Amino acid sequence: MTGKIRYAYYPGCSGQGTSVEYDTSTRAVCAALDIELVDIPDWNCCGSSPAHTVDHHLSAALSCRNLAQAAQVEGARGVITPCPSCLSNLKTSARRMADPDFAARVNKLLDKPLRHIPPVKSVLQALFEDVGPDALYPRVFKRLEGLKLAPYYGCIMNRPPQIMEFDDHEHPVAMDRLLEAVGATALPFPLKVECCGASYGVARQDIVERLSGRLLDAAAACGADAFVTACPLCQMNLDLRQDQINAANKTGHRIPVFYYTQLLGLALGLDPKALGLDKLAVSPRDVLAAVGVRA
Amino acid sequence: MKIGVFVCHCGSNIAGTVDVAKVAEAAKAMPDVAFASDTMYACSEPGQEGIIKAIQEKGLDGAVVASCTPRMHGPTFMRTVARAGLNPYMFEMANIREHVSWIGRNKEANTRKAIDLVKMAVAKLGQNRPLYPKTFAVNKRVLVIGGGVAGIQAALDCAEGGLDVVLVEKTSSIGGKMAKLDKTFPTVDCSSCILGPKMVDVAQHPRITLHASSEVEDVFGYVGNFQVEVRKKAPYVDWKACTGCGACMEKCPAKKSPDPFNELVGRTTAINIPFPQAIPKKASIDPTACIRFKTGKCGVCAKICPTKAIRYDQQDEMVTEEVGAIVAATGYDLMDWTVYGQYGAGRYPDVVTSLQYERMLSASGPTGGHIKRPSDGREPKNVVFIQCVGSRDPSVGRPYCTGFCCMYTAKQAVLTKDHIPDSQSYVFYMDIRAPGKMYDEFTRRAVEEYGTQYVRGRVSMVYPMGDKLVVRGADTLAGTQVEVLADLVVLAVGAEGAKGSPHLAEKLRISYDSYGFFMEGHPKLKPVETNTAGVYLAGCSQGPKDIPTSVAQGSAAAAKVLGLFSKDQLQSDPQVAKVDLKRCVGCMKCALTCPFGAIKELETRGEMKVEVIETVCQGCGICTSTCRQGAIQLQNFTDNQILAEVNALLLTAEEEGA
């Protein structure tokens, strides 16, 4: 890796609220690895869950406005975002703009038509491709030796493959490789691309209890100390609702659910405060203490 | 010159979007055209008779047929012209179907283009000269590549027909995939019991020469006169001395070599005979597993061998076989199913392929016919079969139906119940495709008599849970999701062309598709032939087939070879390159570019020139575009003929512009 890499950064709404620790740890890790994040000026909602269920054109217009704003960031390699849902909507909208009829209707909704579509990646993809496990290895301050992790990518980080164009959509390994580079053990977690129940937590809690419950059972069966996620919604369902799930399924799981950026940050020796470990509902203290990390 | 033009309607294929009457009318105004008409089907009997009648009554010197592609009916109309008493090369075809009516809907534009194409054909025909084929002798030996059931059948039928046969097999024994099968559907009879005697027939037939552990390295020549270079790979055993006693296998200390015959389920010794019924029953050493080859120590087999047959320093041997025809029967390989991440992609030991399961069922297999889980050796109770793994799945680049998986899955489900009576089999399927004789009845038996649970729907995921596997899928008939807790999962893996078949196809100068299957001459009417004369196809090398169809095609290929060899002399195509010795300066550029090695040096009156070996030349024309002197010309496609076509087209454009 030579010199700084600059990206236009799209934090997304969850990064400002429910998953603020994902946002702060992402910023800290990127800074430590010489990736400069410039927030997209005056960014708006990506058009995810609510908009795209109502109107694809409106949803794409919201995403495309963000892409147009991102073009103002000088010298950026493209747009990156930590949230798979934002990523999915940005990439899907960019793909749909290839259809001239679709583009015409979207451009009508925008003040100025979108001329140039910058490349869009997840932060995970940027860390994996621009830094990579090999470059990460020598920068590790504290190896997470002995920490057994269930890497959980969620259902939309790599799917549909023809839009996301990163890693194996049925058996992704990018996060596994990064975590192994910092000394942790990435278990062969079989349900790494399964659905957690997503936003059904609001409408049909029983669905989340069943689907996320299965994930917790499988992680426990693998002997995982903790989950590692890359998605705010997955993290919330597994972490915040773990007690609800336990109650519904009559189980007693106490599995901390990290963002992968938090663990990379710990390994890079970053300040635990910046990584927001105190925001996790299931305390990671004992799990981290067992591998000699104080948090 | 008096030329006749015949415009074909091809029913509505052409007449639907081309004004054929107008094309015929326009043709009447073209230079040298003495007769023009349109006809419903030019290729039909009345159509052909009409052409003959016109040629004879009007005293025509040549004919242009404006119809379909010459690939389809060029030879048909050449025969028609010949029947009318003309030289068959005094004929031209204008393709107004594939090149016009099938690709455009604008009738006016189509008609204009059809007229242009006819005008070009007429102009070219004006330059045509009669051509006469040469005859050459045929070497009545046949080479069969691949010793599976299709190759065995082709070899035996040819040999019974009185031909000398050379059978080349890549592995150390013939038998192919069928030899690996435990039972065959729909009769559930022992596979090796019906194949074994045929394999013995091959070994004992006085007219069959078998090269096992051998591969075709190169192919030269042409129909009737091929020279084939065969590499006989060193087995490090003198097969003349080896009696197949198997003493070396018993004593070999390297017992952990993966066993390709058992689909890597079992282990074998570094020196081995692949299976008890192997033909030839000779031992060979796997140098990647042999301790002697890896460390220089050991040598147990050489000490133990009663006939002193072991040769550690043996080298590959090249053999040249001269044959007149070749049958390619190279078979298939299973598609690489490890692209299926959702089925574990090779990570879970208790997810096996169909062929691995077949070896587990076989009494001569690695488990002695006992079904055991690879992970812990336990007998499974719940066995789940997943169909269409690598078939009918465009997402992995395999959109075609492999065709035999429905049947072998039903067979394996039946056999599972036979082996473990208290077991339960589940089959996840898309459709049941069982069109063969007694096939549908068989799949019904699997359901009705053997209690196999058929679930219509795809499996979304297989993952381990404790020591079991969770198979999650859809039941699209019940409209629900289902989960089965399985002890063993068997993937019905689809087939693709055998590995290396594209390389062989290039050596044989035949076509292959993107899945590695060889292309037949015509999908319906030439299923056994290829576009290269004298090369025929049999078995799964042409596409996935079950055993009866493979055998039938093996016999069909043999019939084609016997038909070819029923003539002592063959005629060569006269559409080959020809050298004008006055113009040739002997620069040899043509010889360098010829892909077939058809051009050789010729010394004439003390000067170096070149000459074309007419039987080797394929008429591709590369040499003619290379020659700066214009000294080498492709017969029937000379510079003058092509320029006449170009002029006809450009002059039309000029007239229209004016």
Torsion from C-alpha of B520, B522, B528, B530, nearest 10 degrees: -50
Judge whether B340 is closer than 8 Å to chain A, CB to CB.
yes
Q: What is the DSSP letter of B98?
A: I
A156, two tokens: 């939309």
Judge whether A136 lies within some domain: no
Judge whether A130 lies within some domain: no
Question: pLDDT at position A161, please?
Answer: 92
C-alpha to C-alpha distances, B502 to B320, B330, B513, nearest whole angstrom: 22, 11, 9
- The whole-angstrom separation of Cα A59 and Cα A44 is 11
Per-residue pLDDT of B64-100, as tens digits, reads: 999 999 988 999 999 999 999 999 999 999 999 999 9
Question: pLDDT at position B596, please?
Answer: 80
- The whole-angstrom separation of Cα A262 and Cα A28 is 9
Residues 6+ apart with CB under 8 A from A49: A85, A199
Judge whether A196 lies within some domain: yes
Residues of B in contact with A188 (CB under 8 A): 347
Q: Is the CB of B464 less than 8 angstroms away from the CB of A194?
A: no
Residue B347 has its nearest CB partner, among A169, A188, A218, at A188
Residues of B in contact with A221 (CB under 8 A): 465-466
- For testing contact with chain B, the best of A171, A173, A194 (most B CBs within 10 A): A171
Count Cβ atoms within 10 A of the Cβ of residue A171 and give its class: 0-12 exposed, 13-18 middle, 19 or more buried. Answer: buried
Which amino acid, B532? T
Q: What is the mean pLDDT of residues B302-324?
A: 96
Q: What is the mean pLDDT of residues B564-569?
A: 94
Q: Is the CB of A171 less than 8 angstroms away from the CB of B466?
A: no
Residues of B in contact with A171 (CB under 8 A): 341-342, 345
Question: pLDDT at position A3, please?
Answer: 62
Q: Is the CB of A188 less than 8 angstroms away from the CB of B465?
A: no
Domain span at A157: 141-289
Per-residue pLDDT of B456-468, as tens digits, reads: 999 999 999 889 9
Q: How many helices (H) and strands (E) does chain A have?
A: 17, 8
Peptide bond into A160 cis (omega under 30): yes
B563, two tokens: 């038909």
Maximum alpha-carbon separation in chain A: 58
Q: Which of A140-149, B2-11, B147-156, B605-614 is least confident? A: B605-614
Q: Are A178 and A136 in contact (CB under 8 A)?
A: yes
Judge whether A129 lies within some domain: no
Asked whether residue A145 falls in the same domain as residue A116, the answer is no
* Nearest-CA distance A157 → chain B (Å): 15
Judge whether A171 is closer than 8 Å to chain B, CB to CB.
yes
Q: Is the CB of B463 less than 8 angstroms away from the CB of A190?
A: yes
pLDDT at residue A2 greater than cutoff 60: no
Per-residue pLDDT of A185-222, as tens digits, reads: 999 999 999 999 988 988 999 999 999 999 999 999 99
The H-or-E segment that residue A90 falls in is helix A84-96
Q: What is the mean pLDDT of residues A60-78?
A: 93
Residues of A in contact with B347 (CB under 8 A): 188
Asked whether residue A226 falls in the same domain as residue A182, the answer is yes
- The whole-angstrom separation of Cα A84 and Cα A90 is 10
> Could you confirm whether domain B3-131 is CATH 3.40.30?
no
Whose CA is closest to B446, among B420, B475, B411?
Answer: B411
By 3-state DSSP, what share of chain B in percent is helix, strand and coil, each rounded to 5?
30, 25, 45
- The whole-angstrom separation of Cα B327 and Cα B565 is 13
Q: Are B575 and B634 in contact (CB under 8 A)?
A: yes
Percent of chain A exceeding pLDDT 70 equals 99
Question: pLDDT at position B387, please?
Answer: 97
Q: How many domains does chain A have?
A: 2
Question: pLDDT at position A48, please?
Answer: 83
- Which of A77, A96, A123 finishes a domain? A123
Question: pLDDT at position B614, please?
Answer: 87
- The whole-angstrom separation of Cα B28 and Cα B22 is 10
Percent of chain B exceeding pLDDT 90 equals 90
Q: What is the mean pLDDT of residues A111-117?
A: 87
- For testing contact with chain B, the best of A170, A189, A193, A207 (most B CBs within 10 A): A170
Topology (CATH level 3) of domain B336-493: FAD/NAD(P)-binding domain (3.50.50)
- The whole-angstrom separation of Cα B462 and Cα B338 is 13
According to the 3-state scheme, what is the secondary structure of B140-160?
CEEEEECCCHHHHHHHHHHHH
A7, two tokens: 């990206």
Q: What is the CA radius of gyration of chain B?
A: 31
Residue B341 has its nearest CB partner, among A170, A191, A194, at A170
Judge whether A180 lies within some domain: yes
Confidence of residue A111 (pLDDT cuts 50, 70, 90): confident
* Nearest-CA distance B485 → chain A (Å): 14
Q: What is the CA radius of gyration of chain A?
A: 19
By 3-state DSSP, what share of chain A in percent is helix, strand and coil, each rounded to 5?
50, 10, 40
Question: pLDDT at position B410, please?
Answer: 97
Dihedral sign for Cα atoms in the order B495, B501, B502, B508: negative
Per-position b or e across B474-499, b if 16+ CB within 10 A of its CB: beeeeeeebebebbbbbbbbbbbbbe
Asked whether residue A117 falls in the same domain as residue A164, the answer is no
- Checking phi first, is residue A220 left (phi over 0); if not, alpha (psi -120 to 50) or beta? alpha
Judge whether A194 is closer than 8 Å to chain B, CB to CB.
yes
What 3-state DSSP class applies to B485? strand
What CATH number is attached to the domain comprising A26?
Answer: 1.20.1050.140
Q: Is the CB of B465 less than 8 angstroms away from the CB of A221?
A: yes
Judge whether A160 is closer than 8 Å to chain B, CB to CB.
no
- The whole-angstrom separation of Cα A85 and Cα A196 is 13
Question: pLDDT at position B657, please?
Answer: 66
* Nearest-CA distance B341 → chain A (Å): 5
Angle separating helix axes B639-657 and B107-125, nearest 10 degrees: 140
Judge whether B463 is closer than 8 Å to chain A, CB to CB.
yes
pLDDT at residue B580 greater than cutoff 70: yes
Per-residue pLDDT of B315-358, as tens digits, reads: 999 999 999 999 999 999 999 999 998 998 788 999 999 999 99
What is the residue whose two structure tokens read 């392929």? Answer: B353
DSSP B391-405: SSBGGGTB-S--SSH
ipTM attached to this prediction: 0.80
Q: Where are the beta strands (DSSP E) in chain A?
A: 5-9, 35-39, 79-81, 120-122, 148-152, 185-186, 226-229, 257-259
- pTM exceeding 0.90: no
Judge whether A176 is closer than 8 Å to chain B, CB to CB.
no
What is the residue whose two structure tokens read 């059972």? Answer: A217
Per-residue pLDDT of B257-297, as tens digits, reads: 889 999 998 899 999 999 999 999 999 999 999 999 999 99
Asked whether residue A158 falls in the same domain as residue A226, the answer is yes
Q: Is the CB of A169 less than 8 angstroms away from the CB of B345?
A: no
Residue of A nearest to B342 (CA): A170
Torsion from C-alpha of A196, A198, A200, A202, nearest 10 degrees: 120
- Checking phi first, is residue B392 left (phi over 0); if not, alpha (psi -120 to 50) or beta? left
The terminus-to-terminus CA distance of chain B in angstroms comes to 28
* Nearest-CA distance B474 → chain A (Å): 15
Q: Are A21 and A262 in contact (CB under 8 A)?
A: yes
Question: pLDDT at position B173, please?
Answer: 96
- Checking phi first, is residue A47 left (phi over 0); if not, alpha (psi -120 to 50) or beta? left
Question: pLDDT at position A209, please?
Answer: 96
Residues of A in contact with B341 (CB under 8 A): 168-171
Judge whether A145 is closer than 8 Å to chain B, CB to CB.
no
Whose CA is closest to B425, among B439, B415, B438?
Answer: B415
Q: What is the mean pLDDT of residues A22-29?
A: 96
Per-position b or e across B643-655, b if 16+ CB within 10 A of its CB: ebbeebeeeeeee
* Nearest-CA distance A52 → chain B (Å): 26
Residues of A in contact with B465 (CB under 8 A): 218, 221
Count Cβ atoms within 10 A of the Cβ of residue B266 and give its class: 0-12 exposed, 13-18 middle, 19 or more buried. Answer: middle
Question: pLDDT at position B595, please?
Answer: 84
pLDDT at residue B658 greater than cutoff 60: no
Question: pLDDT at position A51, please?
Answer: 86
The H-or-E segment that residue B491 falls in is strand B488-493
Whose CA is closest to A23, among A33, A13, A32?
Answer: A13
Confidence of residue B618 (pLDDT cuts 50, 70, 90): confident
Residues 6+ apart with CB under 8 A from B508: B219, B326, B328, B530, B532, B535
Judge whether A75 lies within some domain: yes
B573, two tokens: 């195509």
Judge whether B341 is closer than 8 Å to chain A, CB to CB.
yes
Asked whether residue A111 falls in the same domain as residue A77, the answer is yes
- Which of A123, A151, A173 finishes a domain? A123
Judge whether A134 lies within some domain: no
The terminus-to-terminus CA distance of chain A in angstroms comes to 30
> Could you confirm whether domain B141-230+318-332+499-564 is CATH 3.30.450.20?
no
* Nearest-CA distance A126 → chain B (Å): 23
C-alpha to C-alpha distances, A123 to A8, A81, A126, A129, nearest whole angstrom: 11, 6, 5, 10
Asked whether residue A118 falls in the same domain as residue A161, the answer is no
Residues of A in contact with B473 (CB under 8 A): none
Q: Do domains B3-131 and B336-493 have the same CATH topology?
A: no
B577-635 in CATH: which number? 3.30.70.3270
- The whole-angstrom separation of Cα B29 and Cα A59 is 64
What 3-state DSSP class applies to B306? coil
Asked whether residue A43 falls in the same domain as residue A93, the answer is yes
The H-or-E segment that residue A136 falls in is helix A132-136
Residues of B in contact with A191 (CB under 8 A): 463
Which amino acid, A66? N
Per-residue pLDDT of B222-255, as tens digits, reads: 899 999 999 999 999 999 999 999 999 999 999 8
Question: How far is Cα of residue A203 from the mean position of the Cα atoms in its chain?
Answer: 23
Per-residue pLDDT of B176-216, as tens digits, reads: 999 999 999 999 999 999 999 999 999 999 999 999 999 99
Q: What is the DSSP letter of B540?
A: G
Question: pLDDT at position A115, please?
Answer: 86
Question: pLDDT at position A1, please?
Answer: 45
- For testing contact with chain A, the best of B459, B462, B465, B469 (most A CBs within 10 A): B465
Judge whether A221 is closer than 8 Å to chain B, CB to CB.
yes
C-alpha to C-alpha distances, B652 to B30, B112, B127, nearest whole angstrom: 11, 11, 18
- The whole-angstrom separation of Cα B480 and Cα B470 is 16
Asked whether residue A69 falls in the same domain as residue A195, the answer is no
Judge whether A134 is closer than 8 Å to chain B, CB to CB.
no
Whose CA is closest to A52, among A101, A105, A10, A90?
Answer: A90
Question: pLDDT at position B302, please?
Answer: 94
Domain ranges (residues) in chain B: 3-131, 141-230+318-332+499-564, 247-304, 336-493, 577-635
- The whole-angstrom separation of Cα B175 and Cα B364 is 15
Percent of chain B exceeding pLDDT 70 equals 99
Judge whether A25 lies within some domain: yes
Residues of B in contact with A218 (CB under 8 A): 463, 465
C-alpha to C-alpha distances, B208 to A251, B160, B162, B320, nearest whole angstrom: 71, 10, 10, 16
